[in-house]
Amino acid sequence: MSLFERKNFSHMVWLIIPCLLLSGCAGRASEESAFTAETLGLTPDFSYERKAERPNIQVNCRGYLPKSAKIAIFLEEELPESFQVVEKDTGECVYEGRVRSQERMEDGTFIGYGNFTDLEEEGNYYIRTDKIGCSYYFMIGKDAYLETALEYGSIIEENTSEETVEICETISYLLTAYEMYPGLILQIWEPDTAGDGAEGVRSEQFFQMLRRKTDLLLSLQDERTGGIYAEAGVPSEKDQAADREIDAEATAAFAGTMAKYSYLYQEYDLDYANICLKAAAKAWRYLDSLQTGSAGKFYAAAELYRASNEIIYHNYILQNQEFLLEQEEDFYLLMAKVTYLLTRRKVDHDLCGRLIEDLMRGAEDIAKASRDGIFLVQNKKTDVILWNMTRIALANYAIMNFEYVTVIENSVHYLMGRNEKAEMLLRNPGDREAARMLFLLSVMEEERRIIEDSNVDVEEE
pLDDT band at 250 (very low <50, low <70, confident <90, very high): very high
Domain CATH code at residue 135 = 2.60.40.10
Contacts of 155 (CB under 8 A, 6+ apart): 429, 430, 431, 434
Residues 91 and 238 in one domain: no
Distance CA 206, CA 186 (A): 8
Residues 41 and 168 in one domain: no
Using the predicted structure, report yes or no on whether residue 285 has a pLDDT greater than 90.
Answer: yes
Distance CA 372, CA 357 (A): 23
* Structural domain contains residue 1: yes
Segment 313-349, tens digit of pLDDT: 999 999 999 988 888 788 999 999 999 999 999 999 9
Count of structural domains within the chain: 3
Distance CA 63, CA 68 (A): 11
Residues 135 and 42 in one domain: no
Let me know if 115 is exposed, middle or buried by CB neighbors in 10 A (0-12, 13-18, 19+): middle
Residues 260 and 299 in one domain: yes
Residues 233 and 153 in one domain: yes
Residues 61 and 48 in one domain: no
Residues 150 and 125 in one domain: no
Segment 361-406, tens digit of pLDDT: 999 999 999 988 889 998 889 999 999 999 999 998 888 888 899 9
The pTM for the full model equals 0.83
Which residues span the domain enclosing 186?
A: 146-454
Contacts of 44 (CB under 8 A, 6+ apart): 14
Domain boundary among 140, 159, 188: 140
* Structural domain contains residue 461: no
Residues 183 and 226 in one domain: yes
Residues 66 and 164 in one domain: no
| pLDDT, average across residues 172-191 | 93
Using the predicted structure, report yes or no on whether residue 185 has a pLDDT greater than 90.
Answer: yes
Instruction: Give yes or no for a contact between 209 and 157, defined as CB atoms under 8 angstroms apart.
Output: yes
